[in-house]
Amino acid sequence: MSLGDALRRLDRWALPRLADGLRAGARRARRVRLPLLGTALALLLLLGFGLWRVGRPADRAAAGPPVRVGAGPGESVAGYRAAARAELAGLGRSAVGETYALVTLTAYLAPDRLAPLAGGLSVSAAYLRVPLPGADTRVVRVDAFRVPDDVVAGMNQVALRFDGEVLDYEELIARTAGTDARARELRESYLAQRRAASAEAAALRSACSCVYALVVRATPTALSRVARRAEVRIVDAAPEVRRLDRTVFLPPLPEHECGGGTASGCVPKVPNTR
């Protein structure tokens, strides 16, 4: 027998056995991997379907544009107040059930003074601002389902964020080491912003008198009762609101008023909000 014949006979004997062994190993591996592969495939399908649903233009169109509630940039607060009163009176004569509303206060209040206001209302959020003299401090929105506890907790969270800003400004100040006019200007700006952020953080941490608006849900009767309270400036009922995440609330600050309908004292054109 030649060497070639011997090798061919060896191939005919060994290759089928090798193939059988490989197939058996593959079957065992598939039995082990199949549950894991099935789970991973199901998760990928669910994720893909979710992303497809979110990205569908029809879904975005169905959500519609965001709803605006409050006083827009440059709008007369006096006119806004009159329109809100008329709408609330109209709802009181109808059979409307509970509705969302923006309750704007006459002054900045501490969290512990909100409980009497919130009685009979479902509160969703509070708007805060630290009223520092001569400083353009930020408007902050915090979730507040339990008043005053959630408001205080939200204040502490924002204070921590502002503490981080103080550290950022200190780093920027340290990096601005030049002596030219531009460097001095930057350094003064960073110093002023650091002082403001530090003061805001300290005030919020002390549960300051900083709350000036609430987002609530209640019946028109309950809203009318709240509107008669001395602490309340405007109750803007918003039956058009269906989703809070699709609503922009613009409560006017207590110090903003448009005397005689002029632009002086109106809502700022670009409110400093974060």
How many domains are there within the chain?
2
Residues 228 and 138 in one domain: yes
* Residue 267 belongs to a domain: no
At residue 38, the pLDDT reads 53
Residues 79 and 168 in one domain: yes
Q: Answer yes or no: is pLDDT of 193 > 50.
A: yes
Q: Answer yes or no: is pLDDT of 34 > 90.
A: no
* Residue 77 belongs to a domain: yes
93 band by pLDDT with thresholds 50, 70 and 90: confident
* Residue 130 belongs to a domain: yes
Domain edge (last residue) among 40, 58, 76: 58
Residues 94 and 145 in one domain: yes
Q: Answer yes or no: is pLDDT of 102 > 90.
A: yes
Residues 16 and 111 in one domain: no
Residues 112 and 208 in one domain: yes
Residues 240 and 141 in one domain: yes
* Residue 272 belongs to a domain: no
* Residue 205 belongs to a domain: yes
User: Average pLDDT, whole number, for the chain?
Assistant: 81
At residue 140, the pLDDT reads 96
Residues 172 and 109 in one domain: yes
Domain edge (last residue) among 23, 41, 58: 58
* Residue 139 belongs to a domain: yes
181 or 260, which is more confident?
A: 181
At residue 242, the pLDDT reads 93
Q: What is the mean pLDDT of residues 89-117?
A: 92
66 or 46, which is more confident?
A: 66
Q: Answer yes or no: is pLDDT of 16 > 90.
A: no
At residue 267, the pLDDT reads 54
* Residue 270 belongs to a domain: no
Q: Return d(Cα 78, Cα 156) in angstroms, integer.
A: 34
At residue 241, the pLDDT reads 95
At residue 128, the pLDDT reads 97
Phi-psi region of 26 (alpha: psi -120 to 50; beta: other; left: phi over 0): alpha
274 band by pLDDT with thresholds 50, 70 and 90: very low
20 band by pLDDT with thresholds 50, 70 and 90: low
**Which amino acid is residue 191, in one-letter code?**
L
Q: What is the pLDDT of residues 194-235, one digit of tens each?
A: 999 999 999 999 999 999 999 999 999 999 999 999 999 999
* Residue 268 belongs to a domain: no
Residues 251 and 150 in one domain: yes
Residues 49 and 70 in one domain: no
Range of the domain at 96: 65-261
Q: Answer yes or no: is pLDDT of 84 > 90.
A: yes
At residue 163, the pLDDT reads 98
